[in-house]
Structure 1
Amino acid sequence: MTAVSEPSNWQTYKRLLSYAKPFWLAFSLAVIGNMIYAGASTAMAAAMEVVIAAIENPSDRNRIFLTALIIGVFAMRGLGTFLGQYFIQYVGRQIIHALRTQVFDQLLVLPSRFYDDHSSGHLVSKMTFNVEQVADATTNAVTILLREGLTIVGLLSFMFYTNWKLTLIFIGLAPLIGLVVSFASKRFRKISLRIQNSMGDITHVASEAISGYRVVRIFGGERYEQDRFYDVSQRNLKQSLKMASTKAISVPIVQLLVAVSIAALVWLMLAPEIRNGMTTGELVAFITAASTMAKPVRQVTSIHDQIQKGVAAAYDVFQTVDEVPEPDGGDHAPGRVEGQIALNHVCFRYRDQLDDVLHDINVTIPAGQSVALVGRSGSGKSTLVSLLPRFYEYTGGEITLDDVPIRDYTLRALRDQIALVTQNVVLFNDTIAANIAYGTLSQNDPDAIRNAAAKAHALEFIDRMPEGMDTLIGDNGVMLSGGQRQRLAIARALLKDAPILILDEATSALDTESERHIQEALNVVMEGRTTLVIAHRLSTIEKADRILVMDGGRIVESGRHSELLEAGGVYTQLHQTGFGEPA
């Protein structure tokens, strides 16, 4: 297989700058502003000849002219500064907005395996720290590059016009400056990549400690988390200091080389063959231009750390943008399916694993039938139900829904047929009503939302809330108990009214009394729907139309509760070892 070469710094930066195309007018105004600034800076150096002449020949006319010249030059410089800085900042922030939303939109369509390979902390860091690094490369760096670069061009042009021999001598050290800048640039990018990785580690460790603060405190993990955070922060500090030391060394070297060039000019000016009849005013203007160039040269060479940080950040961001979304090549999009599911010789293995996790699964589930999946932890139950909404792509066999392969459905059409309640309830920092009527369910009227909550036996606590359905429940429902959070998730599934229902330990967080009410509601909602139930509680399992017993990624037994007990097989062993509570 041919290895894909990594894009060069210039290719990455060129791609980044392509995001500025929609804002070409603002970018053009920024360029014009920087041209005005550069012209004013060149005019300040050139004006020294006029100043010397006016000093040597004082008159009222010269006094007025010099006063107007000073005000005019600084007014031009102020106008150029405003246009250059504001409009390049405008372009830069627009690029950041575009990149950030593009990364977020991409994250919403990437396959589950991507999330298996990346921690949430690192992904959040991409959209915060890394994208801000891109901001520096597209705003500050571009501003300095345009403003100071054009200033250098203007000053050099004036110096060539005044005395080309001296100018050639002055720029003789340019190759040495280029070598210093090139070495620093390579080191800047290498260190920038390490800093971004360490920032991802910092975000990851901090988010874990914050979200799991109860476990941290009850098990005395404060010292462990402190040490963990200190280590990742120390790595970030070490790389940041390397970045600072490289910049601190390279900038003075460039300044020294420029100073050597200026000193050489001053020494050579005394040679008549070089001076070539220049007046005192021309000499002063020339040396002023050369001295003025020291600042823009220093700033242009010092922005390489910002550009390399931005290039490294953009490279990382573009890696996410270029990730292949989950496959969605189907075109079948029925309004509502009957709900017959068939798995024919289905196999599945996780990426980069040699052995299958699911082996030759064959089962047909008629529409409206409820099927319970039981088995020891790791037997493949959750993996099996994850294949139906195509969170993972099966690697062998075929899964059909109403005799149509699920890969022929559009993802949206397929997932519209499925309601899901898992053991790990996901709620959002929003109102109770918004959490029940989430996503495409937001079109439901308040009566339908309330009816779903009533069926899930959630109104008994919702009506006691300060603002009822409009109560904010905090991050992931932190204001609610485990059972209350579970009931909201069930209400969400009830509101969706999908023909297929997946319950993955849906009643695990409920006490016995709450579970009895929820089970009654689930019995109602399961009528006429194809239901896949993963549960350990016997009360949830025994009423299923069929029970599939899984072991080692295979279906080893199938039947009703009483039939499987009489068979005396794996199900009987699970029952005897207490996988559920007594009926």
Structure 2
Amino acid sequence: MINILKHRDENLVRLYKYFLPYKGKIAVASIFLIATALTSSATATLLGKLTDVSFYQGGSWLVFALPAALIAVTLVFAISTVLSAYIMSQVSQSVLVTLRKELFNSVLHWPESQYQKVSTGLISSKFVNESTLALSGAADSVTVMIRDTVQIIGLLCVLFWHDWILTLVTFVIGPALFIVLRLLSKKVKVVVKQSQETLGNMISRIQESYEAERIVKINDSYDFEDERFSKVNMRIRRLALKTNILQGLPTPLTQILTMVAVAFVVAVALIEAQGGALTFGQFVTFLSALLLIKAPVQHLAGLNSTFASISVAAKSIFDVIDAKPELDTGKKELKEIHQGIAFTDVHLRYPGQEADALKGISFTVKNGESIALVGQSGSGKTSIVNLLPRFLEVTGGKITIDGIDIRDYTLESLRSQMSLVSQDVFLFEDTIKNNITYGVKSSVTEEEINDAIDAADLRGLIQSLPKGIDTSVGEGGKLLSGGQRQRISIARAILKNAPIVILDEATSALDSKSENDIKNSLKKLTKGKISITVAHRLSTIEDCNRIYVISDGKIQEEGPHKLLLSLNGIYAKLCRMQKIK
């Protein structure tokens, strides 16, 4: 702990603060660690006494008592070691649960821009690798600091008691040891950070190749993917070897320096013993204590590289935990919608871009109205609907609901008024039922669930499965077709029954028959509600109150279907391409 304070490493100090709620358990573990440490001093002393008894008091009862005492000390060592390790493991795992919970909570509340910056591989590495490294290292270092510090103090007391001048001689190695370990610590930090980043890249590469397995196969890109993976894999190998070397150097270097001091002291002690200044038993005690003190010194010296690794891992974790969450400064609660939605001169510019993606978007949607956004890919349609639930933040203008800026509403109340069916359907690795009821499970009845299933045309699929609605959809819904996944997403939106419905290419993955089957269901879903539909299939939006044609981030045309056809503009051209009259 002195090492932490000396280097004023804020990440280490912050990490160890997570252990404070468990100070009671750590105190109990410390008692066992102290008992473990004191067995070294007891062993050295008993060995010396046993030697003197054997040489000078052959018939003494101590000949039997001292060996028995050695066995008892060994038992104390074994029991104390096991119990302290178990208690510290409990503490470290409890802290690990807390850290991972904070990590997960932070990631869930990231703004959209943060998700775009960080790969899933890097995030996975923080949960799996860095958090485990930080906590296991922190718990082990607490054990070493308590046990080995007490062990060294105990053995030094034995050494000073027998010959304080010789003991002081051993301290000459201190400055050299400090300089060597400080240099190694700096190098370890750099290499460990590179290793963690590379491991995150490897996880990303594996996930990417796994999810793109069909693209790899159809393009016969096995060799290319092997080569890309091999580069990352070999870099991890090189960094791991470098880390192992740097982390392994303190032990042999410490051993060399300590053994030089020990050899010198032993030589002097032998001279004293031969001259009668020390008994043979005292010499054995002194020698045993010197040899026993070597291991704890090495352990404490090794903490420099351990702290360096923990510090890098802790910083990586805290960078995620401290990342700014999405803005939620609103104080008002949106409980119902009376008037409608208004976009007023809305602009949007993505981070790092020089031009606006949306330029002066203005329109209104009254309660009960349905509108549609159409246009070529990349025109800005999805950006517009992503602004409404504040997945993205406007960079100019404002969006209001019932005349109040949506930034004045709390995020929870704002989003509770919206259902979303996106073209990018995501299903959790769970049952069909749990995916349909996601977010509303505790507030819906079986009858409502069945109604949603029928409205989304899922009844046939469910009846065809052996486990019915309790069938698992697989990771990301991979056991279902694109259309089936989309219908589950639609059923989820129907079940939420929110007053604002956002349909972002809701029927994009459906064939023509399925699209027609659920068309009426979507009409029922949006009846009496505000609905905003983003569509490429123009046949799904003919009945909307108004259609807005988006091009280059601007509204180029607006009006109902027939009016836009009569204008013979962009919308009419799109309709002709899809043979819609």
Structure 1 and Structure 2 fold alike (TM over 0.5): yes
Correspondences of 1:157-306 after superposition (within 5 Å): 157-270=157-270, 277-306=277-306
CA shift at 1:276, angstroms? 9.5
Residue 4 (structure 1) aligns with: none
Per-residue deviation, residues 350-374 of structure 1 (Å, max 9, x unmatched): 1232322111111111111111101
Q: Which moved more, 1:288-297 or 1:200-209?
A: 288-297
Residue 327 (structure 1) aligns with: 327
Q: Is residue 48 from structure 1 mapped to residue 31 from structure 2 by the alignment?
A: no
Correspondences of 1:34-433 after superposition (within 5 Å): 34-56=33-55, 57-270=57-270, 277-338=277-338, 340-433=340-433
Per-residue deviation, residues 229-271 of structure 1 (Å, max 9, x unmatched): 1111111111101112223433212111011011110222256
Per-residue deviation, residues 155-182 of structure 1 (Å, max 9, x unmatched): 1222122211111101210111111211
Residue 487 (structure 1) aligns with: 487
Residue 557 (structure 2) aligns with: 557
Question: Residue 255 of structure 1 contacts residue 298 of structure 1 at CA under 8 Å; is this kept in 2?
Answer: yes
Pick from 574, 579, 582 the counterpart of residue 580 of structure 2: 582
For the residues of structure 2 that align with 1:426 and 1:8, how far apart are their CA atoms? 47
For the residues of structure 2 that align with 1:361 and 1:276, how far apart are their CA atoms? 100
Tell me the amino acid that sits aligned with residue 434 of structure 1. Answer: N
Q: Is residue 20 from structure 1 mapped to residue 19 from structure 2 by the alignment?
A: yes
Question: Residue 122 of structure 1 contacts residue 204 of structure 1 at CA under 8 Å; is this kept in 2?
Answer: yes
Residue 457 (structure 2) aligns with: 457
CA shift at 1:148, angstroms? 2.1
CA shift at 1:345, angstroms? 1.4
CA shift at 1:317, angstroms? 0.4
The percent identity for this pair of structures is 35
Q: Which moved more, 1:268-277 or 1:543-552?
A: 268-277
C-alpha spacing 1:273/1:287, structure 2 compared with 1 (3 Å) = closer
CA shift at 1:280, angstroms? 2.7
Local SS of the residue matching 1:548: strand
Question: Residue 348 of structure 1 contacts residue 358 of structure 1 at CA under 8 Å; is this kept in 2?
Answer: yes
Question: Residue 380 of structure 1 contacts residue 552 of structure 1 at CA under 8 Å; is this kept in 2?
Answer: yes
CA shift at 1:551, angstroms? 1.2
Q: Is residue 544 from structure 1 mapped to residue 550 from structure 2 by the alignment?
A: no
C-alpha spacing 1:482/1:272, structure 2 compared with 1 (3 Å) = closer
Question: Residue 54 of structure 2 contacts residue 63 of structure 2 at CA under 8 Å; is this kept in 1?
Answer: no
For the residues of structure 1 that align with 2:337 and 2:444, how far apart are their CA atoms? 21
CA shift at 1:48, angstroms? 2.5
Local SS of the residue matching 2:503: strand
C-alpha spacing 1:145/1:192, structure 2 compared with 1 (3 Å) = same
Residue 448 (structure 1) aligns with: 448
C-alpha spacing 1:416/1:275, structure 2 compared with 1 (3 Å) = farther
Q: Which moved more, 1:71-80 or 1:138-147?
A: 138-147
For the residues of structure 2 that align with 1:126 and 1:168, how far apart are their CA atoms? 46
CA shift at 1:219, angstroms? 2.0
Tell me the amino acid that sits aligned with residue 54 of structure 1. Answer: V
Could you state the TM-score of these two structures normalised by the residue count of structure 1?
0.95
Tell me the amino acid that sits aligned with residue 231 of structure 1. Answer: K
Tell me the amino acid that sits aligned with residue 117 of structure 2. Answer: D
Local SS of the residue matching 2:241: helix
For the residues of structure 2 that align with 1:85 and 1:41, how far apart are their CA atoms? 18
Local SS of the residue matching 2:329: coil
For the residues of structure 1 that align with 2:7 and 2:115, how far apart are their CA atoms? 27
Q: Which moved more, 1:315-324 or 1:65-74?
A: 65-74
Calculate the aligned-residue CA RMSD, in Å: 1.9
CA shift at 1:273, angstroms? 12
Give runs of ≥4 in structure 1 deviating > 4 Å.
270-276
Per-residue deviation, residues 253-296 of structure 1 (Å, max 9, x unmatched): 21110110111102222565999933332222112111111222
Q: Which moved more, 1:487-496 or 1:237-246?
A: 237-246
Q: Which moved more, 1:449-458 or 1:268-277?
A: 268-277
Question: Residue 96 of structure 2 contacts residue 135 of structure 2 at CA under 8 Å; is this kept in 1?
Answer: yes
Question: Residue 136 of structure 1 contacts residue 307 of structure 1 at CA under 8 Å; is this kept in 2?
Answer: no
Q: List alignment gaps of at least 5 residues for structure 2.
A: 1-5
Question: Residue 273 of structure 2 contacts residue 279 of structure 2 at CA under 8 Å; is this kept in 1?
Answer: no
CA shift at 1:429, angstroms? 1.0
C-alpha spacing 1:442/1:225, structure 2 compared with 1 (3 Å) = farther
Tell me the amino acid that sits aligned with residue 14 of structure 1. Answer: V
- How many residues of Structure 1 are paired with residues of Structure 2 in the alignment? 575
For the residues of structure 2 that align with 1:174 and 1:274, how far apart are their CA atoms? 29
Per-residue deviation, residues 61-115 of structure 1 (Å, max 9, x unmatched): 2123213311221122123212321111111111111111110111111111110
Residue 468 (structure 2) aligns with: 468
Local SS of the residue matching 1:439: coil
For the residues of structure 2 that align with 1:8 and 1:331, how far apart are their CA atoms? 43
Residue 3 (structure 2) aligns with: none
Q: Which moved more, 1:199-208 or 1:150-159?
A: 150-159
For the residues of structure 2 that align with 1:418 and 1:400, how far apart are their CA atoms? 14
